Structure formats: structure tokens, C-alpha cells
Amino acid sequence: MLTIDLRSDTVTKPTAKMREAMSKAEVGDDVYLEDPTVNYLEKRAAEIFEREAALFVPTGSMGNLICVKLHTQPGQEIIIESRGHILNYEVSSMSMVAGVMPRAIPTSNGLLEWSQIEAAIRPPIYYCSQTGLICLENTHNMAGGAVMSKAQTYEICLQARERKIPIHLDGARVFNAATVLGESVAELTRHFDSVMFCLSKGLGAPVGSMIVGSRTFIEQARILRKLLGGGMRQVGVLAAAGLIALEEMPSRLGEDHANAKLLATGLAEIDNIKIDPESVQSNILVFDISKTGQNTSQFSSKLKEKGVLANGINPTQMRMVTHYDVTKEDCQTALKVIKGLIVN
Ligand code: TLP
């Protein structure tokens, strides 16, 4: 039975080369800092992002949480776009573990502007919770993979620095953003105090994310990773796949973006589906199906019967994500399936 899995780029399976590297990886106890493959992955991530240091973490969620906790004091607020991953899909860890509150700002396209952030910074009044951190997300997952430009990013980072408010990037898909913009990830993320990026999404590693930042920040992050139960042992087997993800996979992300555009263009031609293909820049598309008379769970179930997997993000909007396990032909087939469902 045909399966085209467009639920997420997290579903990618390790490539043959990754599996081979995993089987041959040199390992040691990473809690003793003795895993040579992890040490090398951390060194390479720091070099690629032009930062002092990097830390391998099991998940993007843990990476974000470590950064949020390190930058803030309990009782503070973090400014974040309303649909941000840290706010909506990380089990409220910012509140449970870091003790901070979100100051959520809604936007039409997922991309915060400095004027909106500035207006949300709390005044220095003793009974007001204070702004402890600004979090951006690039690409922005739930805003259809929207990409924030370098100019907009720099403006926000430099203004934040002037206000002495730290700024963190949830860069789970920052390599996708850099591909769209034709920038290096180092250039695009230069002015953030910390960056988390995922090896396990479009880059295809089975597990793993990284935090990059200053040496002192990463030393503190290592302590917090242990506190959260994320001190791993012979984890070079995973870092070996991560190294291939980091070195070899970014250059192919453009294919995923082209496939997402193809899907979006095809969807826009189907009656009762609403999407602006122009807005699809990276590997994620979000489209509205409210006019089809079905909700997203009904729509997902029907798609699944035909071998196409995709999830709703709310009752009216579906999300599809392209990745290296989905070909151009798969996208064309998925479009035919969707057309069939809408017509019948
Ligand atoms: N995103 C997942 C789901 O949790 C929604 C997905 O399928 O896209 N930041 C961003 C922007 C993310 O999209 C994700 C995962 C994370 C952080 C968390 O990464 P993990 O899953 O490794 O904890």
C-alpha cells in the first residue's frame, strides 16, 4: 500500500550513509566528555555557526527549554509570537520548569516586527512582571514555514541588545530559512544570544538537536541538560548520523522547498481549498479546508485511507511538510488523491 507521509519532516528515516556511519562510530562516555564523535559534532556545529561552543541535546524541545531557563529568572515574561512552538507544543515547560510566563503576540504571517515587540516589553514598574527574553522562530512552523529576512532579524536582535534583553532563536529549521534567503546560518543567526537547531527534521538525522552560543552559556547549558536527565553516554552513534545531517543535508533542502511549492500551486487550483502559493517559501504549507464541508480530522482520515498522511493544526487548517523521503512524484500523487476527495 502506498504511503506518502507529509505529516512532518520529523518522520524522515536515517539514510544508508547515516546508518553506516552509526555502525562505525567511535564512542565514549559523553557525561565524562569522552565521546569523540559527539565532541567532533559539537566542534563542527560551533564552527558552522561561528560561535564559541555547541551542545548536543536529545530534542529541540529540551534545547529550547535549556535556553529559556538559562536566560531568565522565575516570574519573568518571554515575548513570543502567538503560534510559536515553544509556547504551544512544549508542554508549557517554560512555566513548569523555567517559571516564566509567555507574552504572546499575534501576527498575520508569523513574523514579529520590532514595533510589536517593543510595545510588549513591560515597563520597569515594581508590580509588573519583567521581560526576560525574546524568542523568535525561523522558519516559523505553524505560520506555514514563513521565513524571517536577515534585515528583520538583525533589527530585532540589535534593538533587543540595546534594551539588554536576551534573544533566543528556535531555529529548528534554520537551515531551511538560510536556504531560502541564500545566507549562511552563521550570518543569519549572528546576533542571537543562543540558537537551537534540529538535526532530526529536514536534515534527516534520527535523533538530536544542538544549542550554539558562547562558551560560558554552553557550560551552563551542559549542567542544565544533566539536570533535565539529558546527560547521555555512548551517544556517538547518534552524533555520527548528526554529522552527516549537518555537513551533507543542508545543500539538498531546496528540493523540499520546490516540492512544497508544487504542492501549494496544485492545491490552489482545487475548488474549496484556500492557500496562497506565493506565501509558501520553505518546506511547510498550511491550507484552509473549511469550504469543503469537512473538518481536518475527517479530511486526514480520508487521506489516510488513500495512503496520504497529513495532519490538521486546528479544525479548519491542514499542514503538509515536504522532506527527503517524499519525491516530486509523491507530491503529484498526493495532489491527485486530494482532488479525488474533494470532488467525491
Ligand atoms: N515540531 C514538530 C511538532 O512538535 C509540531 C513538527 O512536526 O513540526 N521548534 C520547532 C519550530 C519545531 O517545529 C519543533 C518540532 C521543535 C522545536 C521541537 O523539536 P523536538 O520534536 O525535537 O522536541
Q: What are the φ/ψ torsions at residue 313 (nearest 5 degrees)?
A: -105, -10
* Smallest CA separation from ligand 1 atom 5, residue: 89
Q: How far apart are CA 49 and CA 174, in angstroms?
A: 11
Grid coordinates standing for 268?
Answer: 490552489
> Which candidate, 103, 98, 101, 183, places its Cα nearest to that of 139?
183
Each residue of 175-207: pLDDT tens digit?
999 999 999 999 999 999 999 999 999 999 999
Q: What are the φ/ψ torsions at residue 113 (nearest 5 degrees)?
A: -110, 155
> Which candidate, 137, 148, 175, places its Cα nearest to that of 283?
175
Work out the pLDDT band at 342, boundaries 50, 70, 90: confident
How confident is the prediction for the chain on average, in pLDDT?
97
Q: How is residue 143 annotated by DSSP?
A: T
pLDDT at position 2 is 79
Grid coordinates standing for 270?
Answer: 482545487
> Look-up: residue for cell 524541545?
61
CA of 241 to the centre of ligand 1 (A): 19
Q: Ligand 1: residues whose CB is within 6 Å?
A: 8, 10, 59-61, 64, 85, 89, 137, 141, 170, 172, 198, 200, 209
Each residue of 290-339: pLDDT tens digit?
999 999 999 999 999 999 999 999 999 999 999 999 999 999 999 999 99
Contacts of 41 (CB under 8 A, 6+ apart): 54, 56, 210, 239, 242, 243, 246
Residue 1 pLDDT > 80, yes or no?
Answer: no
Residue 344 pLDDT > 90, yes or no?
Answer: no
pTM equals: 0.98
Each residue of 84-142: pLDDT tens digit?
999 999 999 999 999 999 999 999 999 999 999 999 999 999 999 999 999 999 999 99
Each residue of 207-236: pLDDT tens digit?
999 999 999 999 999 999 999 999 999 999
The residue to mutate among 90, 174, 198, having the most atoms of ligand 1 within 8 angstroms of its beta carbon, is 198
Q: Is 209 left (phi over 0), alpha (psi -120 to 50) or beta?
A: beta
Contacts of 42 (CB under 8 A, 6+ apart): 53, 54, 55, 56, 210
Going along the chain from its start, the domains and CATH numbers come out as 4-11+252-343 (3.90.1150.10), 16-249 (3.40.640.10)
